[in-house]
Amino acid sequence: MDFAAARERMIERQIAARGIDDPRLLDAFRTVPRELFVPLELQPRAYNDCALPIEAGQTISQPFIVALTIDAAGIGPHDRVLEVGAGSGYAAAVTSRLARAVIAVERIPELARLADERMRRLGFDNVLVRQGDGSLGCPDQAPFDAIVCAAAGPQVPEAWLEQLTPGGRVVMPVGAMEGVQQLVRVTLDRAGRPRREELEPVRFVPLIGAQAYDEPDRS
């Protein structure tokens, strides 16, 4: 399979055609081989317009949703970014092409280990992967210019707002654990006051943690 051609089609048809036209962001997608962030048997579907299953019963988000979230965060070349819900590491890798540094937090140990291995193997050396409760942010690496999240919480965690720089942005889905949620952007003004904007209806897995949802009871 010609993955480079499939990647270019994805960028043109799934991202640019839907109105995301930042040249830096489109170029970032060109540099990240999505096929290496999914299980081997799913590589032929890596550039499909949908989410795909990955290890530990989790998913890698639809490419457009990854693009929409990163674009909404307005990431600049000098920014330090916290990414919560690292999953396979794909979104962190794309973000790393735009930012100075990315701290990616993943609560599931297996996924954190695999994402860390991918970053080192593929040369994304400005990404630090941490295993832990992402709802608490990453205090020892703060402050952050932007925080992006790939899971839905009941509200923006207070810990994240405390770890943002003035003018910093949080982009995350907010809403119930199941059903339609809203992708929101919360921006801190220079006085530290948050301003919230609703961007797009979305569906994400729940954010699990001390400042988010409890682990579902599967008994």
36, 49 contact by CB (below 8 A): no
Q: Which active-site residues does the annotation give?
A: 61
pLDDT tens-digit map of 3-47: 999 999 999 999 999 999 999 999 999 999 999 999 999 999 999
The mean of the pLDDT values for the chain is: 96
Does domain 3-202 sit in CATH 3.40.50.150?
yes
- pLDDT above 60 (res 156): yes
Termini Cα distance of the chain:
42
Q: Which has the closest alpha carbon to 205: 53, 48, 36, 95?
A: 53
Q: Supply the pTM of this predicted model.
A: 0.96
pLDDT for residue 190: 86
Instruction: Provide the residue ranges of all domains of the chain, joining segments of one domain with +.
Output: 3-202
